[in-house]
Chains A and B, each alone.
Chain A
Amino acid sequence: MGWAQIVLYSVVLLLCAKPLGLYMARVLEGQTTFLSRVLSPIERLIYRHSGVKPETEQSWKTYALAAILFNVLGMLVVYALQRFQGELPLNPAGLGGVSPDSAFNTASSFATNTNWQGYGGESTMSYLTQMLALGVQNFVSAATGIAVVAALIRGVRARETNSIDNFWADLTRSTLYILLPLSGLFSLVLVSQGAVQTFQPYAKATFVQPTKDADGKPVTEQVIALGPAASQVAIKQLGTNGGGFFNANSAHPFENPTPITNFLSMLAILLIPAALCVTFGEMVKDRRQGWAILAAMTFLFAAFLIPCVLAEQSGNPAFARHGLTTNANWEGKEARLGIENSALWATATTAASNGSVNSMHDSFTPIGGLAPMVLIQLGEVVFGGVGSGLYGMLVFAIVTVFVAGLMVGRTPEYLGKKIQAYEMKMASLVILIPCALVLLCTSISFVWPSADPSVSQAVKGMANPGPHGFSEVLYAYSSMGNNNGSAFGGFSANVPFHNFLGGVAMWLSRFWLMVPVLAIAGSLARKKVVPTGPGTLPTHTPLFVGMLCAIVLVVAGLTFIPALALGPGIESLRMAGGAR
């Protein structure tokens, strides 16, 4: 039954990609859709109150400036709301202000669509902070991603122009026509299954059988954290944000109450990134180009999904020593969801730069945990974040045609545009920056002394001994350096050192990629379209899909295999050797 659910999931995902992709193309082209009657008056109202002139054409530099200004502003507001939440309303649990380092990390995290969480939601953030700071960023950071990919697509198809259209209009339309309707619908489905959506204070229940705390003191009362969760969970999945309302994220029954919400959540995670491939094909007026990109993503996804599921099913050989019924790796997984749904989720959430979890990745088997970690390290291009995944993959496509061009000695072209030195320099930045961030930050944290000078910051935070502890650190900086946000959660990252280093890494990996991507868009937009000739490499064929996958894998492989060998590599050898 586990595999049947996985197959059904893949089929439904691919079936939904086309209609949504075509709809999004209409939205990004500024055409009317079936929602326009309701939404276009609201759209005009937004423009009027914010002074946006949607027809104003922007150069890539203005577009990038607008995107960065808007996101810096968002970061400042998120920071301030966290610091002052103790004095602000809608705080029934009476939570105090968040520490400066944690607030900075979280502000960077949510503004960059990473949603790494050093804090536990129900014990840190007031209802107001959740809604007004984090919820808003869930929408606008995702919409920023969609806007940037729309700009890149326009650059690819434009002919000799300086304009890639208007960031403010793209941002507004993505939010209003794509993210809000889907989130509204999905949040109500979540509530109908049992997700909470309330402003009441935390409930207090009396335990049926009293229990004891760690000091042996009796505990008779269960405080049940509540809140306006469903509305936030919906956008956290759809916008590939992933920041949980509660600490346990989508393992928490109030975020993900039933197997059906689990299925729909997983669908929501990959839905927009998959559909954007279709949008791309439609906007460049050659749908095959979109399907080719989607095919490459689907192939890479399956290549990591299958080993992950198999590893978690065959589980932990150490269990057999204790006379258990099965070795299947139940540690950190929910009974209602099961092994396969947990492994599928782990793969989907890391393929997309979502980062929400329905099981604890830290407790996965070595290979089961390797799959999500590598998917992150591929650069979040296998579906990836909304918008950011597609623009990352298109950059890889540019590199692929370049490599192919080198082989046959011709100037490479992509969709009729010559790929020259400038594009390649920018593409290299996009690919190398996250790789460098991951490895450098991991290394720095291993040499930076903690308060106890004999122990480094990295080692101090580890929750597990041996190579698994190393995996925790590598995963943390892979996640932050690629804007994913999931974690090997035992790692104690909520300390000033990691909050600061990670906050900076998340910021750079988002905006140092966005700027060169927009630079490529601007440069391509200025170029002439060259007619297809006999020497042109077609970019919609299985051959090209294969080459694209190979380039993605080779770049990550060359960068990360040594580091991976130290973590999951050694751990899987120890497990195979029956380590105790």
Chain B
Amino acid sequence: MRELVVAIRLFIVLTVLTGVVYPLIVTWIAQTAFRDKANGSLISKDGKIVGSRLIGQPFDDPKYFWSRPSATVPFPYNAAASGGSNLGPLNPALVGGKDSAGKEVPGAIADRVEALKVAGSSEGKVPTDLVTASGSGLDPHISPEAADLQVARVAKARGMTSDAVRAIVNAHTEPRQLGLFGEPVVNVLELNLALDVAQQQ
């Protein structure tokens, strides 16, 4: 019985410490020292929020660079319900084959490769990251190769030179962190916003 009383009292004290004091102190420091990041690295344009630097958006217009496929529901890049496709490596819905009803289906990857071709990115092999869904469904990045594939199409759709587009891509390519960590990537939303600005000028 004594132990039960101690359990209840200690539970309350530790709850206050780890569930109230700790997150509040961290929040206070974060909001003081890293205000922009702590609030979601939001991007504003003309006074309204157009997204977050860390959260991707869907694009299928030829004049924009396309992001990676997103498996969030009910629409891609739903930042209120993150998640991946969870398709297994042999699932016909991903790689094609006979589905459970015995019907031959092309699979998501084939559809995406086809969509890229239709939009005008048809030369060369397609980088794998550009046609596979990310884990979060919110991946803001694509690989530099995936950007390369789309440069000619975007330039044509915007009436810009490929070199001009490529220069903007290069400016938004992030190398490995400290030259070692992770992979080199291109931030798609920032790149597309920069393209819109460049074209207006």
Interface of A toward B, CB cutoff 8 Å? 1, 4-5, 8, 46, 49-52, 62, 65-66, 69-70, 73-74, 77, 93, 120, 122-123, 131-133, 135-136, 138-140, 168, 171-172, 175-176, 180, 183-184, 187-188, 191-200, 202-209, 211-215, 219, 222-226, 228, 230-232, 235, 246-248, 251-254, 257-260, 262-263, 315-316, 318-319, 321-338, 341-342, 357-360, 362-366, 463-466, 468, 471, 488-490, 571, 574-575, 579-580
Contact = CB atoms under 8 A, between A and B. Distances in A.
Contact of B37 (A194, A207, A231, A466): A194
Contacts of A51: 5-6, 9-10
27 contacts: A50-B9, A50-B10, A52-B6, A62-B3, A70-B11, A77-B15, A132-B19, A168-B6, A175-B18, A194-B53, A197-B38, A200-B39, A209-B60, A211-B75, A211-B76, A215-B74, A224-B55, A231-B22, A251-B84, A254-B40, A260-B177, A324-B109, A325-B126, A332-B85, A342-B135, A364-B89, A490-B86
Interface of B: 3-15, 17-20, 22-23, 25-27, 29-31, 33-34, 37-43, 48-55, 57-61, 64, 68, 73-92, 94-100, 109-110, 113, 125-129, 131-143, 145, 176-178, 180-183, 185, 189, 192-193, 196
Nearest to A225: B80
A324 B37 CA distance: 36
Given A253-B54, A324-B125, 6 more contacts: A52-B6, A123-B81, A196-B38, A198-B27, A251-B84, A575-B90
Nearest to A323: B125
A209 B81 CA distance: 19
A70 B134 CA distance: 40
A251 B192 contact: no
Given A322-B131, A325-B128, A199 B97 contact: no
B80 A123 contact: yes
Given A197-B27, A365-B89, A224 B3 contact: no
Contacts of A52: 6, 10
Shortest beta-carbon contacts, A-B, top 3: A259-B182, A490-B86, A251-B135
B132 A211 contact: no
Contact of B181 (A202, A204, A263): A263
Contacts of A46: 10, 13-14, 17
A169 to B, nearest CB: 10
A324 B126 contact: yes
Contacts of A65: 3
B18 to A, nearest CB: 4
A321 B95 contact: yes
Given A50-B13, A204-B49, A224-B55, A336 B182 contact: yes
A208 B27 contact: no
A132 B20 contact: yes
Contacts of B48: 206
B6 A335 contact: no
Nearest to A255: B136
Q: Is the interface of A mostly helix, strand, loop or mixed?
A: mixed
B39 A226 contact: yes
Contacts of A466: 90
A295 B186 CA distance: 40
Contact of B94 (A139, A176, A331): A331
A263 B180 CA distance: 11
Contacts of A342: 135
Contacts of A488: 86
A334 B135 CA distance: 6
A184 to B, nearest CB: 6
Contacts of B10: 46, 50-52, 70, 168, 171-172
A222 B83 contact: no
A130 B11 CA distance: 17
B127 A251 contact: no
A232 B18 contact: no
A26 to B, nearest CB: 21
Nearest to B25: A184
Nearest to A127: B23
Given A260-B177, A331-B94, A334-B134, A489 B139 contact: no
A223 B26 contact: no
A50 B95 CA distance: 59
A180 B21 CA distance: 11
Contacts of B41: 194
A328 to B, nearest CB: 6
B65 to A, nearest CB: 11
B54 A194 contact: yes
- B89, B100, B135: which has the most chain A beta carbons within 10 Å? B89
A363 B15 contact: no
A212 B59 CA distance: 11
Nearest to A136: B19
Contact of A188 (B8, B30, B98): B30
B74 A230 contact: no
Contacts of B109: 319, 322, 324
A474 to B, nearest CB: 13
B54 A70 contact: no
A562 to B, nearest CB: 21
B122 to A, nearest CB: 10
B126 A323 contact: yes
A231 B26 CA distance: 6
Contact of B79 (A77, A225, A366): A225
A231 B23 contact: yes
A207 B48 CA distance: 11
A315 B94 CA distance: 14
B126 A331 contact: no
Among B61, B77, B193, residue most surrounded by chain A Cβ atoms (within 10 Å): B77
Contacts of B133: 331-332
Given A222-B51, A322-B109, A192 B79 contact: no
A336 B55 CA distance: 12
Given A191-B34, A363-B87, A357 B3 contact: no
A264 B145 CA distance: 27
Given A231-B27, A324-B131, A329-B89, A226 B40 contact: yes
